[in-house]
Chains A and B, each alone.
Chain A
Amino acid sequence: EAGVAQSPRYKIIEKRQSVAFWCNPISGHATLYWYQQILGQGPKLLIQFQNNGVVDDSQLPKDRFSAERLKGVDSTLKIQPAKLEDSAVYLCASTTFIGGTEEGTQYFGPGTRLTVL
C-alpha cells in the first residue's frame, strides 16, 4: 500500500513570494490534515478535511494561507505572501475515519521543508 505522498520535498523562497505544496493521501482515506512543524516543536494542525469539506481550520492564518481538497482526494496548501516565520516543515497526514473515541491511525507523509529567506 502506497503511503502519503508530498511534493516538493524542499523549497527555498524569498519573503513575499508565494509557494504551494501538494499532498496525495493513502487511497481510501477520507480525512486529510495539514500540519506545520517548526524546528524544535511538535506539529501544529493547520487544517483538517473530511472528504472535500473543511472540519477545522481554526489555526490556519487565513490572510496568507489557503488550502483546498478538490474531489476529496489530493490537496494543496498555498502560502501567499510568505513570511520569514513560515519557515517550517509542512506535514500532510491522512486517516481512515474520524469520530468516536478511537481515532484511525494518522499516517504522515515525508513533509515539505520550506525555507523563507
Chain B
Amino acid sequence: QKEVEQNSGPLSVPEGAIASLNCTYSDRGSQSFFWYRQYSGKSPELIMSIYSNGDKEDGRFTAQLNKASQYVSLLIRDSQPSDSATYLCAVKKQGGKLIFGQGTELSVKP
C-alpha cells in the first residue's frame, strides 16, 4: 500500500463544474495535509493546507479532512481551463517528512 494514494486520472470536467480530487493516506499519526498544483513542466505550488477535521475554504478551493477515514479531498468550484494541471496531495508524517501522492491530472474543458 502506498503511503499517499490518489487517482491518477485524468479527471475531465466541463468549465464551470465542480472538480473533486481525493487522497487517502496510511499514517494515522499524520497531522498536516497539503494540496499542491503543478502545471506541466513547472514546479509544484502550494494552494491549500489543512490541519483539522472538517472543511477549509479559500476562494474557489475547499479542502476537506477526515482523519478517522484517513481521507483528504480538494474541491474546485466553478472550474476554469486555467485550473488544468496535476494536483498533488502531500501528507506530513510523524517525524516531519512530507510524502507526496502520485498526483491527479485535471483537465477542464471549455
List residues of chain A with CB under 8 Å of any chain B CB: 33, 40-45, 48, 55-56, 91, 98-99, 101-103, 105-106, 108-111
The answer to whether A103 and B98 touch across the interface, beta carbons within 8 angstroms, is yes
Identity of the chain A residue whose Cβ is nearest the Cβ of B51 in the assembled complex: A101
Identity of the chain A residue whose Cβ is nearest the Cβ of B101 in the assembled complex: A42
Which residues between 24 and 78 of chain B lie within 8 Å of chain A, taking CB atoms? 31-32, 34, 42-46, 49, 51
Contact pick for B96, options A42, A44, A55, A110, CB 8 Å: A55
The answer to whether A45 and B32 touch across the interface, beta carbons within 8 angstroms, is no
For the complex, would chain A's binding face be called helix, strand, loop or mixed by DSSP majority? loop
Please, what's the 1-or-0 string for B77-101, where 1 marks a CB less than 8 Å from any CB in chain A?
0000000000010101001111111
Complex Cα distance, B42 from A108, in Å, reads 10
A42-B103, A103-B32, A110-B43 known; A98-B96 Cβ under 8 A: yes
Instruction: Place the interface of chain B in its size category.
Output: 20 to 34
Contact pick for B31, options A41, A91, A101, A108, CB 8 Å: A101
**B102 on interface, CB distance cutoff 8 Å:** yes
Complex Cα distance, B31 from A87, in Å, reads 32
The answer to whether A110 and B51 touch across the interface, beta carbons within 8 angstroms, is no
With both chains docked as a complex, state the minimum distance between the C-beta of A93 and any C-beta of chain B, in angstroms.
8
Complex Cα distance, B15 from A73, in Å, reads 44
Ranked nearest first, the 9 interchain pairs of A and B with the lowest CB-CB distance are: A42-B100, A108-B43, A101-B31, A43-B100, A42-B102, A105-B46, A42-B88, A41-B102, A42-B101
Chain B residues lying within 8 Å of A43, measured Cβ to Cβ, are: 44, 88, 100
Known contacts A102-B32, A102-B51, then 18 further A-B pairs from the complex at CB < 8 Å, ordered by chain A residue: A40-B8, A42-B100, A42-B101, A42-B102, A44-B100, A48-B97, A56-B95, A56-B96, A56-B97, A91-B44, A98-B96, A103-B32, A103-B49, A103-B92, A103-B96, A106-B98, A108-B43, A109-B43
